[in-house]
Amino acid sequence: MKRTKPAPTDAITVPSRRDFLGKSALAGMATAGAVIGLSGCKEDSKAAKPAAAAADPTHIAPGQLDTYYAFISAGHAGEVRVLGLPSGRTLKRIPVFNTDCMVGWGTTNESKAVMGTKPDGSLQYTTGDTHHVHGSYKDGTYDSRWLFVNDKIHSRLARIRMDTMECDKITPLPNVMGFHGIFPDKRDPVDAAINYTTRVFCGAEFHIPLPNDGRDLDDPSKWGCLFSCVDAATMEVRWQCRIDGNMELMATSYDGKLAAATQYNTENAADLAGMMAAERDACVFFHIERIEAAIKAGKTTTIGSSKVPVVDGRVAANGDPKTALTCYVPVGKNPHGVNASPDGKYFVCAGKLSPTATVIELAKVMQWFAGDLKTQRDSVVAEPEIGLGPLHTAFDGRGNAYTSLFLDSQVVKWSVDLAIAQFKGDKTVKPILDRHDVHYQPGHGYSSMGETKEADGKYFNSGNKFSKDRFLPVGPLHPETEQILDISGDKMVLLADHTAYPEPHDGCIVRRDRVKTRQVATMTDFPNAVTAENAGIERKGNKVSVRLMSQAPAFSMPVIKVKVGDEVTLTLTNHDKVEDLTHGCAIPFHNINFIVNPQETRSVTFKTEHAGAYWIYCTHFCHALHLEMRSRLLVEA
């Protein structure tokens, strides 16, 4: 398919190719790059300079700091990244489901305990696929406690402490495959004793036999998908709800009453053609209060060896709106993202295979649950045509939505109110306010504070899936592009391209005052801290405990003697208190490499196999005598 020029910014009638995609086009999209416009590069449709800027706002002068953090999921790299915005500078990579030898994630005993190990002590998984990362909330905005991120490959939810920006907990979801959408509670805490966001909602994209133990392999019609609720504080799975169809993206309401997931496979099909058979799919809403009441009342089952209580949210069991746990709202064919507007009123579903966005009014969904709305579909209050391949929507806090258009390689700005007026029958209004090319094929777009009540409409980051000609080529795999747009004016203005190591998906842009970190740990927070009193070597059979301290530029023991066949646990506490004074610890030919930040303690366990002398050395440049910071590990035959 040939790319056409972007539609004029005031376009409301879109060309006929924007009509529902025909079957042949869909097949083409499924099998080749035909529809995704890989045929060539394009010029920027705007040559405009940043509106309010004589100087480029993305140029942060030396010594100056960014105004926002962006927390970005890294797709199948398995980690989370932290950028400063508007500069786009990379501040940190947080290893989560992947291993990382800079910090020793996957090497230290502490990180292994978080990641999960097999009985022999090796890591259970070393891969992950992080798509969605969201902060915890209080009063409708970020409370700087945690970030949550999914692993689609192994269906695990990870929690990251905001103060240290380190992963501290990973929870597997039982009987789930393809855990994709995630959103934490946005309601104010109800449990005063806990006093923070208490739930994280998780959708499952792939239906599987329940339990997945070899049964029903030939009959996918018996397979199912579970929606999971995880307690943010304990990271335990509280309950699950079985649904019809699947779940992809998730959103939660600001009042804590509703969570919702888009469904592209309402057909419950097991092949591509089947998943595209229905003209409409759905956004399934969960009535959280009723589900939790049903759990409390014990109207539950369990699946396989899992002890997590499961309620039935399938259509057949939820015919009466007044008692229903779920509400399936029909939306455009094979939808993708669902996003909550910062005024708390609407969820917007992006059509993907339909060139529309569907605006669902949450008050009307609650009306349906009360038995006061005729059909689920009556909760839809707008369905503007916005362009080809809509995926995700962000908001500016001024009533405008910004939807990424994968096939059109654009971001489209549209007015939610005007779309509602148009849906009501006003033919004079034009909801589309602006379009801007991005390069190329955007996935998520997200705006500054856009997922909070403090949405400020300053910046929009477009995470693009293809960069093609935007950067120097580096072989077959190009970097992805993150493009930052100024959305503070009437027209969007492209400010900068920056590269992203594949493959970024979603992100959140958090005002820097909403992030509280600490740079130096408290030694007593580490139960295994090594002090002058307990440092040294202790042997029990062939198990040797080496308790070591680091203080620039030396380790506390210059010589450590062990024997071949020992199982050595080396615990290292960094006694330096100076901010940023990190030491590393590498042991040649033993596959040991990790860091200890000021006042932290980390440990590793390894077997000695070969007699010899091994220099334990500091890997992290810490001092003028950093290179001299070494100890001898002497392994005796």
Angle at 547 between CA 542 and CA 549, to 5 degrees: 155
Question: Given the complex with ligand CUA, which of 103 and 622 has the nearer CB atom?
Answer: 622
CB of 91 to ligand K7E, least distance (A): 22
Gap between the Cα atoms of 280 and 383, Å rounded: 13
Among Ca ion, ligand CUA, ligand K7E, none, the one that 281 touches (CB under a kind-dependent 5 to 8 A) is Ca ion
Neighbours of 47 (CB within 10 A): 7
Hey, which residues does 15 pair with through a beta bridge? none
Q: For ligand K7E, which residue of 112, 131, 413, 435 counts as binding (CB under 6 A)?
A: 131
By CB under 6 A, the residues from 502 to 521 that bind ligand CUA are none
CB of 503 to ligand K7E, least distance (A): 8
> Binding residues for Ca ion, per CB under 5 A?
264, 275, 278, 281, 334
Among ligand CUA, Ca ion, ligand K7E, none, the one that 444 touches (CB under a kind-dependent 5 to 8 A) is ligand K7E
Residue 187's SS3 state is coil
Compute and round to an integer the Cα radius of gyration of the chain.
26
Number of residues that bind ligand K7E (CB under 6 A): 12
CB of 551 to ligand CUA, least distance (A): 9
Please check whether residue 206 is in contact with residue 224, taking contact to mean a CB–CB distance below 8 angstroms: no
Number of residues that bind ligand CUA (CB under 6 A): 9
- Name the one range near ligand CUA by CB under 6 A: 82-90, 376-384, 478-486, 615-623: 615-623
CB of 365 to Ca ion, least distance (A): 21
**If residue 148 lies in a helix (H) or strand (E), which one and from where to where?**
strand 141-151
Give CA separation, 479 vs 90, 459, 465, 505, in Å.
Answer: 14, 22, 9, 13
Among ligand K7E, ligand CUA, Ca ion, none, the one that 621 touches (CB under a kind-dependent 5 to 8 A) is ligand CUA
Q: Using the CB atoms, write b or e for 557-583: b if 16+ within 10 Å.
A: beebebeeebbbbbbbbbbbeeeebbb
Among Ca ion, ligand CUA, ligand K7E, none, the one that 156 touches (CB under a kind-dependent 5 to 8 A) is none
180 binds ligand K7E (CB under 6 A): yes
352 binds ligand K7E (CB under 6 A): no
Give me the phi and psi of 133, to 5 degrees please: -125, 130
Binding mask 132-171 for ligand K7E (x = CB under 6 A): x---------------------------------------
The distance from CA 67 to its chain's CA centroid, rounded to whole angstroms, is 21
- Long-range CB contact pairs, 107-111, < 8 A, 24+: 107/591, 107/592, 107/593, 107/594, 107/604, 108/594, 108/602, 108/603, 108/604, 109/569, 109/602, 109/603, 109/604, 109/605, 110/602, 110/603, 111/167
CB of 444 to ligand K7E, least distance (A): 5
By CB under 6 A, the residues from 235 to 264 that bind ligand K7E are 249
Give CA separation, 72 vs 107, 148, 297, 305, 481, in Å.
Answer: 24, 11, 39, 35, 13
587 binds ligand CUA (CB under 6 A): no
Among Ca ion, ligand K7E, ligand CUA, none, the one that 626 touches (CB under a kind-dependent 5 to 8 A) is ligand CUA
Question: Given the complex with ligand K7E, which of 110 and 482 has the nearer CB atom?
Answer: 482
Category of 575 on φ-ψ map: left (φ > 0), alpha (ψ -120 to 50) or beta: alpha
Q: What is the amino acid identity at position 44?
A: D
Angle at 324 between CA 322 and CA 325, to 5 degrees: 135
575 binds ligand CUA (CB under 6 A): no
CB of 623 to ligand CUA, least distance (A): 6
- Name the one range near ligand CUA by CB under 6 A: 124-132, 153-161, 278-286, 614-622: 614-622
C-alpha closest to that of 389 among 440, 359, 412, 355: 355
Q: For ligand K7E, which residue of 365, 388, 391, 549 counts as binding (CB under 6 A)?
A: 391
Binding mask 535-554 for ligand CUA (x = CB under 6 A): -----------------x--
Question: Given the complex with ligand K7E, which of 391 and 412 has the nearer CB atom?
Answer: 391
Among Ca ion, ligand CUA, ligand K7E, none, the one that 622 touches (CB under a kind-dependent 5 to 8 A) is ligand CUA
572 binds ligand CUA (CB under 6 A): no
Give CA separation, 308 vs 108, 239, 240, 303, in Å.
Answer: 31, 6, 7, 8
Whose tokens are 């209004």? That residue is: 429
Among Ca ion, ligand CUA, ligand K7E, none, the one that 131 touches (CB under a kind-dependent 5 to 8 A) is ligand K7E
443 binds ligand K7E (CB under 6 A): yes
Exposed/middle/buried for residue 206 (C-beta within 10 Å: 0-12, 13-18, 19+) = middle
- Interface positions with ligand CUA (CB under 6 A): 552, 583, 618, 620-623, 626, 629
